[in-house]
Amino acid sequence: MRIRQAGGEVLGAGVLLDQRTVLTCAHVIPDRAEEVVAEFVGRPGARAVPATVVSWVPADDDQRGDLALLDLASPAPPGRRPVLRRPNLWGREVYTRGFPSLLDDGLWVRARLGGRAGPGGEWVQMDAEPYREIHPGFSGAPVVDGRSGDVLGIVVSEFPGLAGLAWMIPVETIVRHLPALAGMVADNPSLTDQIREFFGPGRSGGALVVVTGDAPVSGSLTQPAQNEEDVSGKSVAEVSRRVNRVLERHPERQMFVFDAVDEAADPENLAREVIRPLTEAGHQVITGLRQESTRLRGILSVPSVSRRLEVLDVRITEARTAARSARAEHRRVARLVTPVPDWPDDGPALQLRANGLRKNPTLSDLEECEQQTRELLRKSTETHRELKRIYDEYKSLKSLLRAYHLGSGVERSERDRILAERYSRAHNLLFTVPCDLAAASEAVDHYIRALRESP
C-alpha cells in the first residue's frame, strides 16, 4: 500500500493486514493525530481511503520500536491478505516495493537478508541488488520472502552512505511491540531455530530470552555450550565468580547460557548485575526462564554497547547527510534571500568522537554522543525545511506580483503614480539579490492592497 499525506505528498508504504488494518513505520506518519490517505496500488478502480492511527510505538532514543497500525475509514477491496512468518533469516532472498521520489507508482527491489543488527538487535540487515537500492519512500514496505511469498517484516531504514544497505523490522520484533498481531503469524519458530539464528552469522552480542518450561535450554542446543549453567537457587555472587573465572581465561567475546534464571536466589539482580553487563560488553547470552517474566525481559532488553555503536554509526551518517543537504540548500537560498538561518556543522567532530568510543566505550560518553547525533539530525532537518519554506515564499511572491501586475496593474499603473511607485518598489526589492524577504513581502502586500482599492 502507498501512504500519502492528505495534501498529496507520498510518505511511504504499508502492509494491508486485513480489511481495515494497515501496518507501517511510526516515522512514516508525520502527526499521529492527523488523517493520512491509504492507496491500493495495483488494484484498478480501488479508491483511496482515509486512515487514522490506532496503535503507535514511536522510535525510542535508540530507535527501537518505530511501528504504527492504521485503521481504514472503510473496508479495503477484496484480495489476498499477507501471511506473516518468522523463519530463519540468514541469506534469504526477499523482495520489497517502495515509493521513492519521482516514482509514485513504486519500485521493486530484490535483496538478501543478513544477520541481526540495529537497535537492540531488533532489525535485520538487507543487502539490495546493485543499481536498484532502497531509498526514502520504502519505509513501511513489506519485505516478502522470495520462495513462499510470505511477509517477513517491513523496511525501516536505508543507509545513505553505502549503496544497497538497508534494514527491516522482522515479524518477531513487530509482534513483540504489537502483541495483538500474534494471531496473524503463520508459525512460531522452534526454540532450536531461535537459538540457531541467535548464534548464527551477523550476531554481535546481546541477550536471547527463552521460556523453556521444565526442560533445560541445553535440550535445544545443536551442540553443547561451554559456558552453560543452571542457576536455580544460586546467588548473584556465585554466578558472578564463575563468569569472572571464564573471562579471566578467555577475555574475548564468549557465549553464555544461563538456565532457570527466574529460579535463582535473586533473579532480578542476577539479570541486572551479571547478565546485562555481559550483553553490554558484546557477549552472547541465552537466558532460560522456566516461566514468562516481563520484569526480567525488561531488564535484559537493554541493547549492548556494541549494538548501540552500530546504530550510532548509522545515525551519524544520516545526520551528516541531512547537514550536507541543509548546507546545499543554504547556498542556493542565501544568494537569493536574506535573512536565512545558518546551516549546522556537518558533524566531522561527531564522527571522530564515535570512532574514539569504539576503542574505549563508556556509557556516559555513548549517551552524550547519541544525544548530539539526534540534535544534529533535528537541527539539520529543521534548517532544511525552513530554507525550503523561505525559498518557496520568495518564488510565490514573485509569481504573485507578476500575476497582479499583468492582470490589471500595467494599465492602471500608467494612470496612477502611487500604484506605479508601489509596484516599482516591490519589484526592485524582489529582484535585487539578496532580497530582503520581509521588506519585499510588505511591499508586495502594499501594492496589491493599493491595486484593490484603486478605482
pLDDT of residue 51: 92
Question: Could you give the angle at the alpha carbon of 121 between the alpha carbons of 117 and 126, nearest 5°?
Answer: 30
Beta-strand relationship, 435-436 and 337-338: parallel
Enclosing domain of residue 159: 93-184
Of 271, 302, 333, the last residue of a domain is: 302
Domain match, 439 and 361 both: yes
C-alpha cell at 78: 477484496
Q: Is residue 78 part of a domain?
A: no
Q: Is residue 412 part of a domain?
A: yes
Is the pLDDT reported for residue 204 higher than 60? no
C-alpha cell at 330: 543554504
Is the pLDDT reported for residue 383 higher than 60? yes
Which SS3 state, helix, strand or coil, does residue 79 take? coil
Q: Is residue 79 part of a domain?
A: no
Domain match, 136 and 274 both: no
Domain match, 287 and 315 both: no
Give the CATH number, domain containing residue 177. Answer: 2.40.10.10
Query: What is the average pLDDT across 254-275?
Result: 91
Query: What is the average pLDDT across 188-192?
Result: 62
- 152: number of Cβ within 10 Å: 25
Domain match, 155 and 13 both: no
Cα separation, 99 vs 109, whole angstroms: 11
C-alpha cell at 372: 548530539
Query: What is the average pLDDT across 380-393?
Result: 90
Is the pLDDT reported for residue 206 higher than 80? no
C-alpha cell at 118: 540495529
pLDDT of residue 100: 81
Q: Can you say whether the dihedral through the CA atoms of 392, 393, 398, 403 is positive or negative?
A: positive
pLDDT of residue 87: 59
Among residues 420, 309, 316, which one has the least CA distance to residue 358? 309
Query: What is the average pLDDT across 5-9?
Result: 80
Q: Is residue 343 part of a domain?
A: yes
Which SS3 state, helix, strand or coil, does residue 119 take? helix
Domain match, 24 and 116 both: no
Of 153, 184, 215, the last residue of a domain is: 184
Under DSSP, the state recorded for 256 is E
The structural domain count of the chain equals 4
Cα separation, 36 vs 46, whole angstroms: 16
Domain match, 359 and 247 both: no
pLDDT of residue 345: 75
Q: At what angle do helices 305-334 and 348-359 cross, to 10 degrees?
A: 170
Q: Is residue 77 part of a domain?
A: no
Backbone φ, ψ for residue 177 (5° rounding): -85, -30
Kindly report the three-state secondary structure assignment for every residue of 293-312. Answer: CHHHHHHHCCCCHHHHHHHH
Give the residue with greater pLDDT, 61 vs 178.
178
pLDDT of residue 348: 80
The string of DSSP codes covering 125-176 is EEEEPTT----TT-TT-EEEETTT--EEEEEEEE-TTSTTEEEEEEHHHHHH
Domain match, 352 and 440 both: yes
Please say whether the beta carbons of 318 and 377 come within 8 A: yes
Instruction: Give the lowest-confidence range in 139-148, 213-222, 373-382, 406-415.
Output: 406-415
Alpha carbons within 13 angstroms on the beta-carbon side of residue 115 total: 14
> What percent of the chain is predicted at pLDDT more than 70?
85
Cα separation, 123 vs 65, whole angstroms: 10
Domain match, 122 and 59 both: no
Categorize the per-residue pLDDT at 200 as very low, low, confident or very high, splitting at 50, 70 and 90: low
- Out of 198-212, 219-233, 319-333, 404-418, give the one with best mean pLDDT: 319-333
Of 127, 157, 184, the last residue of a domain is: 184
> What percent of the chain is predicted at pLDDT more than 90?
27
Categorize the per-residue pLDDT at 19 as very low, low, confident or very high, splitting at 50, 70 and 90: confident
Domain match, 447 and 338 both: yes
Domain match, 416 and 309 both: yes
- Tens digits of residue pLDDT in 392-404: 999 999 999 988 8
- 385: number of Cβ within 10 Å: 12
Cα separation, 396 vs 391, whole angstroms: 8
Cα separation, 398 vs 379, whole angstroms: 29
Give the residue with greater pLDDT, 234 vs 418.
234
pLDDT of residue 161: 43
Cα separation, 304 vs 277, whole angstroms: 8
Q: Is residue 336 part of a domain?
A: yes
Categorize the per-residue pLDDT at 332 as very low, low, confident or very high, splitting at 50, 70 and 90: very high
Instruction: Give the lowest-confidence range in 53-57, 260-264, 300-304, 414-418.
Output: 300-304
Domain match, 445 and 314 both: yes
Q: Is residue 67 part of a domain?
A: yes
In Å, what is the CA distance from 274 to each residue of 43, 235, 250, 377?
54, 11, 17, 35
Domain match, 309 and 349 both: yes
Under DSSP, the state recorded for 81 is P
Average pLDDT of the chain is 82
User: 292: buried, middle or exposed (CB in 10 Å: 19+, 13-18, 0-12)?
Assistant: exposed
Is the pLDDT reported for residue 218 higher than 80? no
End-to-end CA distance of the chain: 55
Query: What is the average pLDDT across 145-158?
Result: 84
Q: Is residue 172 part of a domain?
A: yes
